[in-house]
Structure 1
């Protein structure tokens, strides 16, 4: 198995990124999809999925996301596409929490996951995924804390709705927090910062 690939981003599409390593371009399917700068050097943790007529690489920014993906593949009715949509959501901690708390309503928000599949995920994975994210309230994969309803939090929600990733939003949040603004002003400033960074 290819553990990870480190190289330069040479092409991106809606659900794939091509990473060049020593003259070879690896097409990697991503769930987020992640957004990178052209020629940015990245490391993707990969899973190689082999079928009779197809071989694909699935990529994740962190090993924990890949481990969750592998667990989801063991669930009856979940294929690579569905597992990627769930594991690549940037909130594996929240997903593990939903499984452990039997929150099937949260799981049905993912594409292709109905009530029956959500219950199957819980049945197959409860007690088996908590070690992926040892402490759900700390670290990178913690469920996001409840923020007070403010102009800044409304602006961040709007940016997420516009399709910006958690990584992009986290990068500009500290700069936005330095000054009081209206929601619209925060959004305009965030867009300006993203264009200049």
Structure 2
């Protein structure tokens, strides 16, 4: 397998780049070849996925290892070929795609060419819970008012809510104060509990 190529960038066109290394010109198919345009004539490293089938061998190229690894993961999903996987990685990027999988955002996933509801569900089924362990991303959870709330804050907030439940407060009461608690960004568990108690005693 060819993991990456170090060489001089000789050609950039709408479908691929050509990198010369040790006298050999490697044609590498990329989602966005013109991302490399500013390095034309320079020595570059391009991360590659060597796609091999009985009748074809193709090098697909990526700017960094995360994009390459995500491409490989998507390619494992039934119904997704290299063209579709390349389009997803090139359009969405790692952060947005992983977030869409973890939040089961079918609308986002079906926005890619050739991805219908059935394929979107298959991607979620095959990849949810796996990508978040492999890639260094921060998920964002959108509350009822559309405010982004990152996954770390969500975890801390859940700990505080559990503590409030143990004090005898009902789910209905906790649900009423949750939107206000979410405004306390980057708070720790004790801070959420104190703010929660103050809100609950006002009701």
TM-score when normalising by structure 1: 0.66
Q: CA deviation at 1:51?
A: 1.1
Q: Please tell me whether Structure 1 or Structure 2 has the larger radius of gyration of its CA atoms.
A: 2
Q: Give the alignment partner of residue 64 of structure 1, picking from 57, 63, 66.
A: 66
Q: CA deviation at 1:90?
A: 5.9
Structure richer in helix, relative to its length: 2
Structure 2 segments unaligned to the other structure (5+ residues): 140-147, 149-203
Within 5 A, what are the aligned runs for 1:81-92?
A: 81-89=83-91, 91-92=93-94
Alpha-carbon separation, structure 2, partners of 1:20 and 1:51? 24
Residue matched to 1:195: none
Residues 108/29 of structure 1: CA separation in 2 closer, same or farther (3 Å cut): same
Residue matched to 1:182: none
Structure 1 segments unaligned to the other structure (5+ residues): 138-145, 147-197
Residues 71/32 of structure 1: CA separation in 2 closer, same or farther (3 Å cut): same
Higher relative contact order (CA 8 A, sep 6+): 1
- Structure 1 residues 102-129: Cα deviation after superposition (integer angstroms, max 9, x where no partner): 0011112222212221111111111111
- Structure 1 residues 133-186: Cα deviation after superposition (integer angstroms, max 9, x where no partner): 22326xxxxxxxx9xxxxxxxxxxxxxxxxxxxxxxxxxxxxxxxxxxxxxxxx
Residues 21/90 of structure 1: CA separation in 2 closer, same or farther (3 Å cut): farther
| Secondary structure of the corresponding residue to residue 112 of structure 1 | coil
Within 5 A, what are the aligned runs for 1:136-147?
A: 136=138
How many residues are aligned here? 139
Residue matched to 2:26: 26
Q: Give the alignment partner of residue 47 of structure 1, picking from 35, 49, 69.
A: 49
Q: CA deviation at 1:36?
A: 1.4
Within 5 A, what are the aligned runs for 1:173-192?
A: none
Residue matched to 1:76: 78
Runs of 4+ in 1 over 3 A off after TM superposition: none
TM-score when normalising by structure 2: 0.64
